[in-house]
Structure 1
Amino acid sequence: MSGMRYWDLLNLSWRQLKERRLRSILTVLAVAVGVTTIISASAQVEGARVSILENLGKLGPDSIIVTVRGRVPFTDVDVARISSLNGVLKATPVLRMNVRIQGIDNPITLVGISSRDLPDFLGELRLHEGGPYPDLPTPQALIGNKIAIDETGQTRYREGQPILVQLGQRQLVFTVTGVLDTYGAAGIFPPDTSIFIPREYYNHLVRGSGYSVILVKAENMEIVDQVSETIGDVFGGRATITTIKHIAEMVTRITDQINLLLTAIASTSFIAAGLGTLNIMMISVLERVREIGILKALGMRDRGVLLIYVVQGLLIGIFGSLVGFAVGSLVAHLIPSLISGMSQRAGVAGEFPRLAYSPIISPAYLGMASLISILVTLLASAYPAWRASKLKPVEALRYG
């Protein structure tokens, strides 16, 4: 069959789709729904994954988080023991407890840490205004962005202003030395809803109750696993040892599984698309029995008739993929704004740290969605195409 005849087949397939334009458009849209769902959903998961890994990367792949298991906190002796281990560059003790602030419904994390250790703890120190506190036993604080600024953008606290903190039955007043920039879900504790104060003053408040977390820096990332095993041997069941590398691997595994689940769910919409394609192809064959008979009488072979309807299925799959990609890209970038707006209207915007991310459309999932849509429409058109190719010219002309 010559190249010209293939072009004729394409023109004939396209003409038949155009003749039943509404039916064809609805079938294309059914295919596009599946592609749109896969692209928009996977873009959210991929964007969140990249954002989380970037935040973890700021802490450094050489970081190890040692947290208390049980009620017995770490002491200065424990910090000194970790600092003395081979391969440990630095051990930073961190104190924390939940407090409340008037006008904010959700608990706030009060963190006691030396200001010189803030960059290690936060990954990087970014300030909205002001600066960190001096490392002195004085009531001064560096506050998170969501504490200083409410959901409507109104400022609650500025540099130099006092902030009243409720600790059990006690009321404490701190002077704000600075406000952090927005971090989102970064760091060991959510910085946006945390108050950082000098460790010396924290110890004064709680009278040396001990540390809940120790942030350890290994000398290099190659020995992180070795150092974490050594710390685990030293503390046994007293501590939980977590490496940034392990968290990153776990995040990747979880997001991959979520993506597969969402893809499986979204793929069910292709069943409807396949049935729609099968329906339009069968109707097209029944409506064109006489036309098929004329084509065969003029010399078109079974293979040529079969290709007409296979090409129609291929075109539906291709157009469905293109429409799905366009709509999916738009929806993917609208979803974060919609989620944020719904959270604020529901009154839970400040309940959890917001994960700031930009949707990322993965070429792998785009290719997979397009491949599934084309395969589904090709498979759906196979039986109608076979039926059309097996029509006898005489019977087609007689009963068409």
Structure 2
Amino acid sequence: MTDVLLTLEAAFNSIRAHTLRSLLTVLGIVIGVASVIAVVSIFQGMSASISEQFAGLGANNLSVRAETSFEDQLQGRRSRIAISDYQRLHDSVQHLAELSPTFDVLGDHGGNVSAGRVEAFTRVIASSPSYQHSRQVYPRIGRFITEADNDSRRRVCVLGETLRENLNLPANPLGQYIRIGSEWFKVVGIMEERGEVFGFSQDDFVLMPFATGLALVSDPAQVDLRIDLQARDRSNLEFLRDRVEQVLRQSRRLAASAPDDFKVETADQLGDSLKTLINLVTTVFAGVVGISLVVGGIGIMNIMLVSVTERTREIGICKALGASSRSILLQFLGEAVLLSALGGLIGVAIGYAGGLLASSLIPGLPAAVVPWWTALLSVAFSGLVGVIFGLIPAAKAARLDPIEALRYE
């Protein structure tokens, strides 16, 4: 133990004696670790944000959407959840607390709405009164659409906070009218703010009654629905999922051997799918920027070889005074490892600061999160780089002949 402490002390003194050169030596390590930490912190922040968003959807929710195979996409075909599918689910599936159909009235990408002379591009959604319960979002002021609105196909709507601001409407615009397509709609409510995810606002939308939306589209048969279902009891969730899949296959007349052209997912599965994608992207990015750690290791090996050459006479004197080859090797190896580890620690601090800066400067980017294992792994990997690339210079120093080393000029 004493030998190890003396070795580390000697390595630290050597690094301190050449402070500027040591900092330049570990610059590659610092940049590599900082890049990895910054990337991981940003993407892990996104993953944490996703978990938070989907946690609000409830553990007993199911989501149904169409899914088009890659082959069908190449042939220009598109799967849709039709009105008949929704009606079959409504009539055939039991144990439901909520059943909420939703579709985009002006297409997947949205359309223009206006208030007076102010115009804005936004999502135009049609849904049922149960939308607010299945999505766990409620009006901040005013009311949500009702069954009476839907039955009468009333031209009423509720707005997201971002759209209210974009249309320059007052803080309380209840009773005012906006234009959607060629129709005028009365504003009856403003929804709670939900913030942004990945820079996209969740509050930039207008929502109208489902039947009203169907009356506005040119061909209701071409409508592609998304359906949210809520089980009365979480224990019935798997049974409910199987039943939904069975009913949809019957409704869509799929052969026994044909794959599903729809997707039934729980809120947890939706969140897990997105988190899996983010973790994959994180790994790829971290691997790419981690290459700079290897470059940094090569820089350490190069400087350590120079250091061995500069200190040849010193090594000769140490060996002449009785120092073993093992102690010489440990001293130079310890110096390389200490350099790498210090670079890793500095890189962790800079990377975390960079992640915080990015999340504060880029609108909608969630707060950076650095798991403890990431920081620990980065510093450990930095130390490993020091061992790998410091071994050759250390071995060269240990093999020096003391007589030849003393003669070196």
- TM tier, shorter chain? 0.7 to 0.9
Q: How does 1:77-156 map to 2 (within 5 A)?
A: 78-79=86-87, 81-82=89-90, 84-98=92-106, 99-102=111-114, 103=118, 106=121, 108-120=122-134, 122-125=135-138, 127=140, 129-135=141-147, 136=149, 137=152, 138-150=154-166, 155-156=168-169
Shift in alpha-carbon separation, 1:131–1:10, aligned structure 2, 3 A: same
SS of the residue corresponding to residue 20 of structure 2 reads: helix
Whether 1:379 and 2:402 are equivalent positions in the alignment is: no
Tell me the alpha carbon deviations over residues 11-52 of structure 1, each in whole angstroms, 9 at most, x when there is no partner: 221222122221100122221111111111111111111211
Counterpart CA distance in 2 for 1:87 and 1:56 is 22
Q: Does 2:53 match 1:41?
A: no
Shift in Å, 1:119: 2.8
Mapping of residues 333-344 of structure 1, within 5 Å: 333-340=356-363
- Report if the CA contact (8 A) 2:139-2:189 is conserved: no
2:209 alignment counterpart = 198
- Offset at 1:96? 3.0
Task: State the Cα deviation string for residues 106-138 of structure 1 (Å, max 9, x = none).
Answer: 4x2222334454131x333263x4443454243
Task: Tell me the residue number matched to 1:32.
Answer: 30
Q: Are the counterparts in 2 of residues 292 and 396 from structure 1 also a CA contact under 8 Å? A: yes
Aligned residue type for 2:29: V
What is the RMSD computed on CA atoms of the aligned residues?
2.9
SS in 2 for 1:59: coil
Aligned residues: 374
8 Å CA contact 1:142, 1:180 repeated in 2? no
Q: Provide the C-alpha distance between the structure 2 equivalents of 1:195 and 1:391, rounded to a whole number of angstroms.
A: 78
Letter in 2 for 1:339: I
- Measured in 2, the distance between the counterparts of 1:97 and 1:124 equals 20
Question: What residue is the counterpart of 1:172 in the other structure?
Answer: 184
Identity %: 21
Q: Deviations over 1:368-399 (max 9, x none)?
A: 21121110111111000000011111110011
User: 1:14 & 1:155 partners in 2: Cα distance?
Assistant: 63
The equivalent position to 2:229 in structure 1, one of 210, 213, 216, is: 216
Rate the CA distance shift 1:230–1:76 in 2: closer, same or farther, 3 A.
same
1:182 is paired with a residue whose SS is coil
List alignment gaps of at least 5 residues for structure 2: 68-77, 253-260
| CA spacing shift, 1:284–1:126, aligned 2, 3 Å | farther
**Contact residue 37 and residue 374 of structure 2 kept, 8 A:** yes
TM-score (normalizing by structure 2): 0.82
Hey, what does 2:400 align to over in structure 1?
A: 391
TM-score, normalised via structure 1 length: 0.83
1:148 and 1:179 in contact (8 A); partners too: no
Quote the Cα distance in structure 1 between the aligned partners of 2:174 and 2:138: 19
Measured against aligned partners, the alpha-carbon deviations of 1:275-325 in whole angstroms (never above 9, x if no partner) come to: 110011111100000001111111110011111111111211221121111
Q: Which residue of the partner structure matches residue 375 of structure 2?
A: 366
Q: Which residue of 2 aligns with 1:65?
A: 63
- In the superposition, relative to structure 1, how do residues 291 and 228 fare at CA in structure 2: closer, same or farther (>3 Å)? same
CA distance 1:157–1:202, change in 2 (3 Å): farther
Aligned to 1:329: 352
Unmatched tracts of structure 1, length 5 or more: 341-353
Q: For residues 190 and 280 of structure 1, do their structure 2 counterparts lie closer, same or farther at Cα, with a shift above 3 Å needed? A: closer
- Name the aligned partner's letter for residue 312 of structure 1: E
SS at match of 1:192: coil
CA distances 1:210-259 after superposition (whole Å, capped 9, x unpaired): 77222111244444344223222222284623312332232232122112
Q: 1:31 to 1:253 in 2, by over 3 A?
A: same
Report the Cα offset of residue 177 of structure 1. 2.7
